[in-house]
Copies of this chain bind each other. A is one copy, B any other.
Amino acid sequence: MNKENKSKIKNNETFEKFNQKNDIFNRSLWDKTVRSKKTEKFYNDYTKPPESENRPEGYKHKDYAFRNATWFMSDTFSNIHKNNGRAEGFTDEFKVQKPGTKSKYIFKSNKDLTDEIKIIAKKLGADLVGITKSNPKWIYSHKYRRATDEVKPNKIDSSLNRVIVIANQMDKDLIDTAPSALSGSATGLGYSNDLTTILSLSQYIINLGYKAVPSQNDTALSIPLAIEAGLGEYARNGLLITKKFGPRVRISKIFTDLPLECDKPISFGVKNYCSICNKCADSCPPRAISFDKPSFKQINKSNIKGIKKWSVDAEKCFKFWASQSTDCSICIRVCPYNKDFDKLTHKIGIKLANTPFRYILIKLDNFFGNRKKPSEWWANK
């Protein structure tokens, strides 16, 4: 079995495309088993930071003030067509681009085009870029409109047969303070940085006379597209693990009709490592991460049906977020792949993780990965 087949995502006959109505954020609006006073407070706190100082460090006024500020750019763009009931980047694709040129720029070759798109993506802030086919399996079957509680079939222009998948790293120092409202700033920064990249890159493509539809959580599942675009491997914590930033990335994507050359999936030992390392499952306060082997089991309707993988219990996960009134990144912080891979020791470590030395690495890694105190972060220590 070659590397490509090994990292291929397996489905069985029960497979069904995912309906975005069932993602946990949408369920927290329409599904009474998920919605609660706490989930409502969770969202309200993103609009207006809680001012109480009688809370543990990392959950105080200035932590929320900062976390909410990091979301500013994302909030602005997701609300840009709010009056039409759209939540761009969450349930709807972005429709903010300016018209382009009539003539199509002719590239010397598809290889040249692909190389140049990757250069431009990086100049526009992308940390990692991969290209894949627009695989219909990962396109949502239905969209959900939050404002009106409507479910509608998700249509996508069939000429958009390539996806440019972008991963941007999240701030390590902030993630190291998880769980805290402060660490939620890494998420906000991630969304806001992604935005600049995908909106500007889409405008570049449109300016060349081609089509580009920028997307964050809307339209399609990002993780399988990122895997198919060669950005990383799937992990026990339900996240993408990249070679350069481990699980500490945000993913966004652009659907386009540019005749781009596709990348291939990669394998660098994550599957084997996750099989014997249960650090994320061990560290998850609500026990939302499984200790089991990958399986076709659907824990609840927020999991896609008929895909063999490690699945996360989104109900338990989100209930914990609501109880803390901020998102949680513990499973990112404690992951042994959450390292600064510019450092030589970690460069060697990630190679060894793909060998039987992983058994020793797992033991060693228990000495690292402790939470940084939010007060230390604020003191710039």
Interface size, chain A (Cβ < 8 Å): 46
Within 8 A of B (CB), among A61-112: 61-62, 64-66, 68-70, 72-73, 75-76, 96-99, 101-103, 105
A204 CB within 8 Å of chain B: yes
Interface string of A21-40 (1 = CB under 8 A from B): 00000000000000000000
A380 to B204, CA, bound (A): 18
Asked whether any CB of chain B lies closer than 8 Å to the CB of A329, the reply is no
Tell whether A174 is near chain B: CB-to-CB under 8 Å: yes
Please measure, in the bound complex, the distance between the C-alpha atom of A200 and the C-alpha atom of B171, giving whole angstroms: 16
Given A66-B120, A70-B124, A185-B123, answer yes or no on A103-B203 (Cβ-Cβ < 8 Å): no
Judging by beta carbons under 8 Å apart, are A73 and B115 in contact?
no
In the bound complex, CA of A103 to CA of B62 (Å): 12
**B69–A207 touching, CB < 8 Å:** yes
CA distance A73 to B204 in the complex (A): 12
Q: Could you name 25 residue pairs across A and B whose Cβ atoms are closer than 8 Å?
A: A48-B101, A51-B103, A61-B105, A61-B208, A62-B105, A65-B101, A65-B204, A66-B207, A69-B200, A69-B201, A70-B124, A70-B200, A72-B98, A72-B200, A72-B203, A73-B196, A73-B199, A75-B98, A76-B199, A116-B378, A123-B174, A124-B189, A192-B196, A192-B200, A196-B196
For A99, what are the chain B residues with a Cβ–Cβ distance below 8 Å? 48
User: Which residue of B51, B68, B105, B124 is within 8 Å of A203 (Cβ)?
Assistant: B68
Q: Indicate if the CB atoms of A189 and B123 lie closer than 8 Å.
A: yes
- Find out whether the CB atom of A69 lies under 8 angstroms from the CB atom of B171: no
Closest Cβ–Cβ distance, residue A345 to chain B (whole Å):
22
**Which residue of B is nearest A50, CB measured?**
B101
Chain B residues whose CB sits within 8 angstroms of the CB of A72 once the complex forms: 97-98, 199-200, 203
- Copies assembled: 2
Shortest distance from the beta carbon of A161 to any chain B beta carbon, whole Å: 21
Instruction: List chain B residues, Cβ under 8 A from A378.
Output: 116, 119
What is the minimal beta-carbon distance from A149 to any residue of chain B, in angstroms? 25
Query: Which residues does chain B contribute within 8 Å of A201, judged by CB atoms?
Result: 69
A201 to B65, CA, bound (A): 10
Question: Residues of A at under 8 Å CB distance from B?
Answer: 47-49, 51, 61-62, 64-66, 68-70, 72-73, 75-76, 96-99, 101-103, 105, 115-116, 119-120, 123-124, 171, 174, 185, 189, 192-193, 196, 199-201, 203-204, 207-208, 378, 380
Task: Please name the residue on chain B nearest to A199 by beta carbon.
Answer: B72
For the complex, give the distance between the alpha carbons of A116 and B171 in Å: 17
Chain B hits for A105, CB < 8 A: 51, 61-62, 65
Closest 4 CB pairs of A and B: A65-B207, A69-B204, A69-B203, A72-B203
Residues of B within 8 A of A174 (CB): 123
State A48–B208 Cα separation when bound (angstroms).
10
Known: A73-B199, A123-B174, A171-B123. A208 touches B47 (CB 8 A): no
Smallest Cβ-Cβ distance to A115: which chain B residue: B380
Q: How far is the CB of A119 from chain B (nearest CB, A)?
A: 5
Q: Are A101 and B380 in contact (CB under 8 A)?
A: no
* Inter-subunit contact A51/B196 (CB<8 Å): no
